[in-house]
Structure 1
Amino acid sequence: MTYRSIAAHAVRLPARIAGLLACIIFGLSVIPAAQAAPAYEIYLDLPVLTGDGAGGGGLNPALPLDESTLRAALDQARADGVAPSRYATLLHQYWLVISTRNADIDLASWDPALGVHANQRTFSQVYVNYFRLANDHPEFWWAGLAGIAGGSFASGFFDLGDVGLVLDVPGIHQLGDAVADLLRDTPPELVAKVPADIRLLATEGSRLSAEDIAWYQTRLIIMQKHIFTDLVPMHEAYAALGMVGIDEMYAAGVIDADIRTAWQSIDSHTYDGYVDALIRMTDREQNQVIADQWDATSAGRGAMGRVLTYVSTVVGKPAVPGVRAPGVFAPATVNADIVGRTVSLRIPLPDFNWADRDTRWVYIMGDLAQRHIDMESNRPLAEVVLGESFWSKLAHGRMIARIPDLIADLTTQWQLG
């Protein structure tokens, strides 16, 4: 029924009612249609729910994993002048999706809770990607260190899988038994002062089970995903947009002022800038991103969390040229008074546990980072080291092959003086 026909019918109504009806109809005809909410609105103000690496998929299940959908939402939010802090998780998710695409990782299925077998390819691919970033962008010194040092721990990851299948052959049991035998022949006054981790390896190492190892492997997968989720997206943002991409992440609150300074240092394209960025990014990784997770891991599964993190310290020599193994950098040395004489014991095992943030940082700054700086400063050497395939590095670091040498070192360098 048109307005004209309604008006014609209205003439038969009392004049007051007819006029009121006409006003209502006319008013409705000039009210503008409600505008549809922008598509990105459902993605605003979302919290990060799975940023610690423990969950599957992206940062929040309300966000899509499709790159084009995320990009369209971001572009519209930017065009509409939305404050970056409101689309922070959307922005982070976008660069995370870019990161996993470039790394050839399926973000949707990356879930540590699914266990070792389901994540084994992804675990390796993370390190392959660090080397890709370091080779494509020589200024990304942290990516090179993450690939080399992290790859050394990956060697232990695969070896733990082997040991988990054959716990009664040379492996953690044999290492613990060797330490126990040496402690039995050591004066009790000295044994009482031996670092607790070494005594724990001797008393508990032989009780380690396949279930303990599977739990530890899952803990490593969680921390690995946490580091990737935090640090790799900012590398991809800088690679694509330079400081524009970094400044947007800073404005959104995805990164803090310290890590923004690290990127400004990289953007200076100077030696001092690269060194500054390496230290700041390594500090973020070790002392912010995964520090609490290492604490929880070393305290997990009774004594076994501590045993496993210490074994990782014993065998985890990073493959950076010139770096010392933890047991060489900080060997355990104790002294005791025995019948009126001061007797010392030097043990060729680390005097610290990699899970402990303070002593871990001393090792990283005292040896690992400096040797990496030396390598990066020698571009021909860096190209050779970073250009070697991850799989070749993995083969060099196999723990099983090195167990006999470790035990030989124990028996020949366990020295009383």
Structure 2
Amino acid sequence: MTFRTSSRTVRGYFRVVALFLCLVFAAGAASTARAEPAYTAYLDLPSLNGDGAGAGGLDPALPLDESLLAQALGQARADGVAPRRYATLLHQYWLVVATRNADIELAAWDPGRGPHANERIFNQVYVNYLRLATRHPEFYWAGLAGIAGGSFASGFFDMGDVGVVLDVPGIHQFGNAVADLLRATPPELARALPEDIRLLATEGFRLSAADVAWYQTRLMIMQKHIFTDLVPMHEAYVALGMRGIEEMYAAGLLDDDLRTAWRSIASGTGDGYVDALVRMTDREQNHVVADQWDETSAGRAPIGRVLTYISTVAGKPGVPGVRAPGVFAPTVVTADVGGRSLALRVPLPAFNWADRDARWSYITGDLVPRHIDLETDPALAGTVLGEAFWGKLARGRLAARLPDLLADLTTQWQISG
């Protein structure tokens, strides 16, 4: 049987096919038009973890993959989106860059997992500060963070040696020594001493492993908060110069003071580097962690005060020439004892590092000036900044210095009149 197809039938068939293809293409075009760029899901996100208390990055809605963040950021820039709308995306990108360069796995950075799980990350933060300072000598703040951080990390490890610190020699022994001296001191003078010293004597022996673990976690939260706030802007400047800083400023991630700090660094002058050091240190201590120090000091009352004061007693930043807190501001009190005016000098600091004004007085009165001396001496800076972090860590251990601290306590607890 033979079938014959007329030309009219063929033409009709092609018209139907053409119409179908047009509909398909139109539907595809409409679908494409409706598809939004990937970055739109990342606009206007809050920074939920900017304070460093949780695991990972700033918002769980954001990826931790650097290439995905870079792609989304590039599209948002190309489309002219206002930087404030992609601020958290921008911050997350530079945070991911910062942790990559620091050899830190951001997804695993969770202070809540405890000291043992975070030990490597805790150390690596300070190693990274020294890396930034040696590669970019104009980054005075990074140098200070790395050197002073070595001392801070030493105290962290001492706190971790529970069997040593909480028994003998350690916090218990130190607190008991203070209690013995107080019992031999006229009560009028003992009552005039700062409350922190009296708490050390009455509560030091009560400290438990759980208290120390809590305090370590508080320190790790503050450490991550400082890194999250200040290190990403350093990486943005390294990669893009002031263009990177201006974008962060437009996004609201930097305030006027920090913008000025980076302009000071960009000036290429020694005075500019010093100006940036002071401004960034102010940012760190008086804005980033100020509230967290308040909360730590008030926590587990009165244990928070005891632990922050012990940190003050034990602290001696590794910057050459810096005085220990108890030397910078020793405790001296006077009282009327039996009709005589007597003075008591105690080789313990008259302040607690957790208190804002006292902490800032020590930082600006001794720590920052001595660090400026260091940075402006190229030979000394090269030696100190170039030393491996692990050397700084070993020298700052409280366990090694405890005999000297106890000797100072017993020989320098002096009454005069």
The TM-score normalised by the length of structure 1 is: 0.93
The change in CA–CA distance for 1:3 and 1:274 in structure 2 (over 3 A counts) is: farther
* In the alignment, structure 1 residue 259 sits paired with structure 2 residue 262: no
SS of match in other structure, 1:33: helix
Q: Is the 8 A contact 2:54 2:110 kept in 1?
A: yes
What does residue 6 of structure 2 align with? none
Q: 1:339: Cα distance to partner?
A: 2.0
* Structure 2 letter corresponding to 1:43: Y
What does residue 415 of structure 1 align with? 414
Runs of 4+ more than 6 Å apart: 5-8, 26-31
SS of match in other structure, 2:60: coil
What does residue 160 of structure 1 align with? 159
Q: Say which of 30, 33, 38 aligns to 2:30.
A: 33
* Structure 2 letter corresponding to 1:33: A
* Structure 1 letter corresponding to 2:340: R
**Superposed, which structure 2 residues align to 1:188-203 within 5 Å?**
188-203=187-202
Q: Is the 8 A contact 1:164 1:213 kept in 2?
A: no
The 10-residue stretch of structure 1 (360-369 or 157-166) with the greater mean CA deviation from structure 2: 157-166
C-alpha distance in structure 2 between counterparts of 1:264 and 1:4, whole Å = 72
What does residue 401 of structure 1 align with? 400
SS of match in other structure, 1:192: helix
What does residue 41 of structure 2 align with? 42
Q: 1:163: Cα distance to partner?
A: 3.1
SS of match in other structure, 2:410: helix
What does residue 149 of structure 1 align with? 148
Structure 1: segments with no counterpart, 5+ residues: 9-21
What does residue 113 of structure 1 align with? 112
What does residue 313 of structure 2 align with? 314
* Structure 2 letter corresponding to 1:415: Q
Q: Is the 8 A contact 1:317 1:326 kept in 2?
A: yes
SS of match in other structure, 2:225: helix
1:381-416 per-position Cα deviation (integer Å, ceiling 9, x unaligned): 001000000001001011001111101001100010
**Superposed, which structure 2 residues align to 1:175-194 within 5 Å?**
175-194=174-193
Q: 1:167: Cα distance to partner?
A: 2.1
The change in CA–CA distance for 1:29 and 1:178 in structure 2 (over 3 A counts) is: closer
Q: Is the 8 A contact 1:44 1:90 kept in 2?
A: yes
Q: 1:39: Cα distance to partner?
A: 1.2
SS of match in other structure, 2:30: coil
SS of match in other structure, 2:192: coil
C-alpha distance in structure 2 between counterparts of 1:381 and 1:4, whole Å = 90
1:158-183 per-position Cα deviation (integer Å, ceiling 9, x unaligned): 01111356622100000000000000
C-alpha distance in structure 2 between counterparts of 1:103 and 1:309, whole Å = 28
* Structure 2 letter corresponding to 1:88: A
Q: 1:56: Cα distance to partner?
A: 0.2
What percentage of residue pairs aligned between the two structures are identical?
Answer: 73
Q: 1:27: Cα distance to partner?
A: 10
What does residue 298 of structure 1 align with? 297
C-alpha distance in structure 1 between counterparts of 2:269 and 2:377, whole Å = 14
What does residue 376 of structure 2 align with? 377
SS of match in other structure, 2:161: helix
C-alpha distance in structure 2 between counterparts of 1:350 and 1:221, whole Å = 24
C-alpha distance in structure 2 between counterparts of 1:97 and 1:164, whole Å = 37
The change in CA–CA distance for 1:161 and 1:28 in structure 2 (over 3 A counts) is: closer
The change in CA–CA distance for 1:244 and 1:153 in structure 2 (over 3 A counts) is: same
C-alpha distance in structure 2 between counterparts of 1:3 and 1:59, whole Å = 62
Q: 1:340: Cα distance to partner?
A: 2.0
C-alpha distance in structure 2 between counterparts of 1:42 and 1:219, whole Å = 33
1:267-308 per-position Cα deviation (integer Å, ceiling 9, x unaligned): 001111111100000000000000000000011112111100
What does residue 138 of structure 1 align with? 137
The TM-score normalised by the length of structure 2 is: 0.93
C-alpha distance in structure 1 between counterparts of 2:165 and 2:274, whole Å = 43
What does residue 7 of structure 2 align with? none
SS of match in other structure, 1:148: helix
**Superposed, which structure 2 residues align to 1:238-249 within 5 Å?**
238-249=237-248
When the two structures are aligned, how many residues end up with a matched partner? 401
**Superposed, which structure 2 residues align to 1:2-401 within 5 Å?**
33-34=30-31, 35=33, 36-164=35-163, 167-401=166-400
Q: CA-atom RMSD, angstroms?
A: 1.9
SS of match in other structure, 1:50: coil
Q: 1:122: Cα distance to partner?
A: 0.1
C-alpha distance in structure 1 between counterparts of 2:278 and 2:165, whole Å = 40
1:174-215 per-position Cα deviation (integer Å, ceiling 9, x unaligned): 000000000000001101100000000000001110110000
SS of match in other structure, 1:348: strand
SS of match in other structure, 1:346: strand
SS of match in other structure, 1:63: coil
The change in CA–CA distance for 1:4 and 1:256 in structure 2 (over 3 A counts) is: farther
C-alpha distance in structure 1 between counterparts of 2:25 and 2:114, whole Å = 62
Q: Is the 8 A contact 2:158 2:165 kept in 1?
A: no
The change in CA–CA distance for 1:262 and 1:338 in structure 2 (over 3 A counts) is: same
C-alpha distance in structure 1 between counterparts of 2:368 and 2:333, whole Å = 28
C-alpha distance in structure 1 between counterparts of 2:104 and 2:257, whole Å = 29
